Structure 1
Amino acid sequence: MKEKVAVITGGATGIGRKTARVLAESGISVAVTYRKSKLEAEELAHELERVYGVSGYAVKGDAADESECKRAVSDIIGKYGKIDILIHNAGPYIHERKTMAEYSSDEWNYLINGNLNGFFYMAKEIIPHMRKNKWGRIVTFGFERSETAPGWIYRSAFAAAKSGLTSLTKTLALEEAAFGITVNMVTPGDIIGDWKEGGIDLAKERKDKTVPVGRPGTGEDLARVISFLCDEKSDFITGSVIPVTGGKDVLHKIYQE
C-alpha cells in the first residue's frame, strides 16, 4: 500500500482520526477534511508525518457544502496528483430526540447533505481519478441494519440519509467494479466518547455487560476493518455492509429507552 493516498472526510477527530493513524501504519498518506476542527486536523497531519513517516494533509471541507467538497478534492489532487481511497466518515448528527415534525428545514437539510449528498459531492469528484488509475477503495459509514431501511425513532433525518447512502454504496459497487474500484460500508455499534479514538487493548481491560463480547467498542475496531477493505487483496469484497457492533443490538436498545 506504499504511495497510496487516502481521503478521510471529517477525519480530524474521533473514529476518523483513529482510522487515519491505522492507515498511516500501512504506509498510506492521508488527507483529512474538517469543518471547524482546523487545529486538530493540522496536529494530526503533523503526527502522521512525524510518527508514521507518511504525508499528512489537512484541508477545509464541510461535507454538507458542495463547493467546499469540490475545493477540497481539487486541493488534494493538486498536492498528490491522485486519490486512491475515500473514507466518508463525516456524518452530522443531532443528539436531541426529535420527531420528524419537530425538525426545521435547515436541520433536515444539513443532516441529509452531510450524510448523503456530501458523499455524492466527494465521490463524483474523486471517482474519475480512480477510474483513470483503474484502482480505488471507497468506504462509507451506515448504522446497524441500515441495509434493511429500518425505522429509527427520533432519528428520522439521519436514518433516511444513511439508508439512502447504503443503497448508493451498493449501486456504486456495481457501477465501478469494472474499473477496479470497490465500494463497501461499515456500520458501527455503540462507540462513544473517548473510545472513538481508543484502542482494543485498553478496551479489553474494561467490562461492558451491554455488549455480548463483553467490552466497549473502539475506533480501532472500525479502523481495522476499514484498513482490511482498503488492502490490495480485498478486491473481491464489494457492495458489502459490514457491522462492527460486538454483537450489540443498538436499535433494539433505543426502542426500549
Structure 2
Amino acid sequence: MSQPVAWIVGGAKGLGVMIAKGLAEDGYRIAVNYRHSREAADTLKEEIEQAGGEAMVMQGDVSRLADVKRMAREVLDRWGRVDALVCTAGPFTFKRIPTIELGDELWREMVDGNLSSVFYLVREIVPVMRRQGGGRIITFGFPEAEQAPAWQGYSAYSAAKAGLVSFTRTLALEEAPHGITVNMVYPGDIRDPYKEAPISAARGNRDPRNPVGRPGTGEDVARVVRFLVHPDSDFITGAVIPVTGGFTNDRFHVK
C-alpha cells in the first residue's frame, strides 16, 4: 500500500497542529489547508519536513464548495489518495448572542463552517476512500453535543454541531460496508497557549474548570485521533468521544 495521506482540515493553527505532527510521526503524508494563516501553515509544513515527514499546504475555505473541490483535486493530484480526513476546522465566536439577535451572516458562518463544510468534504473524499478499500473520517463537536444540549448565546454553533453528531453517525452506518469509519471527537475548553502544546506543557499547571485539574492540550486530542485512524481501530465507528478532562459547558466562561 502507498504511504497513507491525512488531510487535516484547518490544521494550520489550533488543535490541528498537534494532530498533523502526530500523524506525520505515524508515517502519514500531511495535507493542511488554511484560510488566512499562510505563515502558520508554512511553519507547520517546515517543522514536519525537518522531522523527516512530507507535507503540503493549501489555501481555501471549507465552507465554500468550490474551494473544497479545488483542494481535494490538489491533494489527489499530488498523492492520489486520502486515508484520513480530520475535520478540525469550525468557526466559533466567544460573544454570547441571543438567537433572535443573530444576523444572517453569522448564522451562515456557523452552520456552513461547522456542518455544511463536512458534507462538502466527505462528498469529495468518500468516493476516493471507497476505491481504496477504506479510510478514516474524524469530525469535531463540543462537550455533550450528542445530547443536543441547550447552550444559551451559542444557538447557531450548537445547532450545527448537534446536527453534525447525527450526520457523523449516519455516515458511519452508510460507509461501514466500505471499510470507512466515521467518529466524532469533542474537546473540552482548550485555549491558548495549550491548543498547540504537548501534554508536558500542562503538567503542574492548574485549571479548576477541569475535574482532572490541569489544562487540556492539543496533544490530548491528537492522541485520540491517532488511535482512531489506526488500521486496527476498524471496529470503532459512529462513536462520539469526549476529550474534556471532565469539563462540561456549565463551566464555560468568556475570558
Structure 1: which amino acid aligns with 2:100? A
Name 1:111's counterpart in structure 2.
Answer: 110
Identity of aligned residues (%): 46
Contact 1:92–1:114 under 8 Å retained in 2: yes
Q: Which runs of 5+ in 2 are unaligned?
A: none
Q: Give the whole-Å Cα distance in 2 for the aligned partners of 1:46 and 1:129.
A: 28
Aligned residue runs from structure 1 range 208-223, under 5 A = 208-223=207-222
Task: Report how far residue 209 of structure 1 moved.
Answer: 2.6
Contact 2:4–2:82 under 8 Å retained in 1: yes
Name 2:30's counterpart in structure 1.
Answer: 30
Q: Give the whole-Å Cα distance in 2 for the aligned partners of 1:38 and 1:124.
A: 26
Other structure's SS at 1:222 match = helix
Determine if the alignment matches structure 1 residue 81 to structure 2 residue 74: no
Cα RMSD for the two superposed structures: 1.4
Structure 2: which amino acid aligns with 1:35? R
Name 1:175's counterpart in structure 2.
Answer: 174
Q: Give the whole-Å Cα distance in 1 for the aligned partners of 2:53 and 2:179.
A: 24
Count of paired positions: 254
**TM-score between both structures, scaled by the size of structure 2:** 0.96
Name 1:50's counterpart in structure 2.
Answer: 50
For residues 80-127 of structure 1, give each alpha carbon's deviation from its aligned partner in whole angstroms, at most 9, with x where no partner exists: 011111000000111211011111101100110010000011110000
Name 1:253's counterpart in structure 2.
Answer: 251
Contact 1:195–1:217 under 8 Å retained in 2: yes
Task: Report how far residue 2 of structure 1 moved.
Answer: 7.5
Q: Give the whole-Å Cα distance in 2 for the aligned partners of 1:254 and 1:30.
A: 33
Structure 2: which amino acid aligns with 1:215? R
Name 2:19's counterpart in structure 1.
Answer: 19
Q: Give the whole-Å Cα distance in 1 for the aligned partners of 2:120 and 2:59.
A: 14
- The structure in which a higher percent of residues are helix is 1
Q: Give the whole-Å Cα distance in 1 for the aligned partners of 2:107 and 2:250.
A: 24
Q: Give the whole-Å Cα distance in 1 for the aligned partners of 2:48 and 2:122.
A: 24
Task: Report how far residue 24 of structure 1 moved.
Answer: 0.8
Contact 1:2–1:28 under 8 Å retained in 2: no
**TM-score between both structures, scaled by the size of structure 1:** 0.96
